[in-house]
A and B are shown apart, each in its own frame.
Chain A
Amino acid sequence: MLLIPCPWCGPRDEIEFRYGGEAHVAYPADPPAVDDLELARYIFYRGNPKGRFQERWVHQQGCRRWFNLVRDTVTHEIAGSYLPGQGPPA
């Protein structure tokens, strides 16, 4: 089980959290202007790297707030968490 550092509550067991997938997926700036391919990319395509990944989690059973996590998808090592709207730690 992962030990996830919630930036508000501190480290908690994975069972308290729900996963939100890739972080920093921007809503199209001008939705009516995007074509089918761009829209498909926004809706269905997400990064799936083998290695470092910036992803969203929500502390569902705790503070119920969203945050971002940097985790390695091969080792499951967590490099750190940060608040929404902020950039990832170096």
Chain B
Amino acid sequence: MPHTESHPDFLWRSPEPRSSYDVVIVGGGGHGLFTAYYLAKNHGITNVAVVERGWLGGGNAVRNTTVIRSNYLWDESAAIYEHSLKLWEGIQEELDYDVLFDQRGVLNLAHNLHDVRESVRRVNANRLNGVDAEWLDADGVAEFCPLINTSRHIRYPVMGATLQRRGGIARHDALVFAVARAAAALGVHLIQDCEVTGIEVEAGRAVALETSRGRIAAGRIGLCAAGHSSVVAAMAGVELPIQSHPLQALVSEVLDQVLDTVVMSNAVHVYVSQAHKGELVMGAGIDPYNSYAQRGSFHVIEEQMAAALELFPIFARARVLRTWAGIVDVCPDASPIVGPTPVENLFVNCGWGTGGFKGTPGSGWVYAWTLAHGEAHELNRPFALERFETGALIDEHGAAAVAH
């Protein structure tokens, strides 16, 4: 079993930035860190820096609700998310770090006839793509997760659910520590407190970053800035079809273990799991308005709690410990953009929206390949920026499971 050494003084170095790197990644979240790690490990490219405006593990990497699954509808999504899930299944051994990856299953509830049809269709699509998926009727849901109120007399009765048994959760901050440590050990520079203020473009080619810690030249630049993707891409004159929204989440006080699976409901906008430490972790739908504020409106939390209590009457006396929001980068088709931009040597990885955590290993893996080869890998080629011109969208609003 992987293990963590007891209380190391530090997990990674904090070097001064060099004047130049082969690859610079903008954004030290899960996607950026995994990209740096796989650049070094899979492609032998170790002259790499990750520049992070804040600190590692301060953004969406630790603001998400840690749900991991791969039960997406379309072939392109199933391929990339399943690739990611398979990487998850070996991540603890690979990184020699216990990230509490726990395949406790993910239920996606159906509350109306449309949900049922969409869910059954998705289960069938998943199976054709080699992704494990089952359809449970209401009795099956009651048997699998007795805590859920499956009464026919609630406002939005549970009519069934999809179940992906290989889905689950992991401890998100541990994942950040693990990947950062592994990347740093391979020679990657992790440069925190380093804000990108400009991108130098010469004759249609990105050559360097202006940062709060000086100019950093780069052979290739990989943007990985999640909710701030529009802001950094604009520095190179690149526009993205991204809207930034707050996505709120909360935890309860620490409780005894009562919920041993992940329950998500698209229709009533709540998803719930219980952390190993004991807090109930719940997320909501996005706040409707554009925002960079990392906070949302309280009525969204109220609605989410109402839905949670209807589904789980046992939670009625649990108290909210804290709420927060992350800024999610939402694409019109609820699928990410991973690939080249119109500016040479400038690449973008964004649009993971409300579900990026599950994708971090797979995203980093394909993005590293893309940055190493200068073109998209087979797995992320469909997720090109050009799809908004060609019309080859990958519409995952159903499987994204959070209202956009």
Contacts and interface: CB of A to CB of B under 8 A. Distances in A.
B298 A1 contact: yes
A74 to B, nearest CB: 5
Contacts of A50: 228, 230-231, 244, 292
B291 interface: yes
Given A40-B388, A45-B241, A73-B244, A1 B293 contact: no
B395 to A, nearest CB: 12
Contact of B293 (A14, A49, A55, A73): A73
A44 B293 contact: no
A21 interface: yes
Contacts of B291: 73-74, 76
A21 B389 CA distance: 21
Contacts of A53: 290
Contacts of B231: 50
Nearest to A51: B292
B243 interface: yes
Given A36-B390, A40-B389, A48-B244, A15 B293 contact: no
A2 interface: yes
Contacts of B298: 1
A21 B404 CA distance: 12
Contacts of B230: 48-50
A18 to B, nearest CB: 7
B interface, over-half SS: loop
A8 interface: no
Contact of B243 (A1, A14, A48): A48
Contact of A15 (B242, B244, B299, B388): B299
Contact of A2 (B242, B292, B297): B297
A75 B239 CA distance: 23
B185 to A, nearest CB: 35
A49 B389 CA distance: 22
A46 B242 CA distance: 7
A65 interface: no
A63 B235 CA distance: 41
A36 B289 CA distance: 28
Contacts of A15: 299
B292 A73 contact: yes
B332 interface: yes
Interface in B239-297: 239-244, 288-293, 297
Nearest to B331: A44
Interface in A29-79: 36-37, 39-41, 43-46, 48-50, 53, 55, 71, 73-76
A71 to B, nearest CB: 7
B389 A48 contact: no
A75 B293 contact: yes
Contacts of B297: 1-2, 14
A40 B164 CA distance: 35
Given A14-B299, A18-B288, A48-B290, A37 B244 contact: no
Interface in B202-243: 228, 230-231, 239-243
A49 B332 CA distance: 17
A46 B299 contact: no
A48 B240 CA distance: 9
A36 B389 contact: yes
A71 B289 contact: yes
Contacts of A45: 239-241, 388
Contacts of A44: 241, 332, 388
29 contacts: A1-B298, A2-B289, A18-B288, A19-B289, A21-B243, A21-B290, A37-B389, A40-B389, A41-B239, A43-B388, A44-B241, A44-B332, A45-B241, A45-B388, A46-B241, A48-B242, A48-B243, A48-B244, A48-B290, A49-B230, A50-B230, A50-B231, A55-B289, A73-B289, A73-B290, A73-B292, A73-B293, A74-B292, A74-B293
What 8 A-B pairs come out closest when comparing CB atoms? Answer: A19-B288, A48-B230, A44-B241, A40-B389, A40-B388, A36-B389, A1-B297, A44-B388
Given A48-B242, A49-B230, A74-B292, 9 more contacts: A13-B299, A19-B289, A40-B389, A43-B388, A44-B241, A45-B241, A48-B244, A50-B292, A55-B290
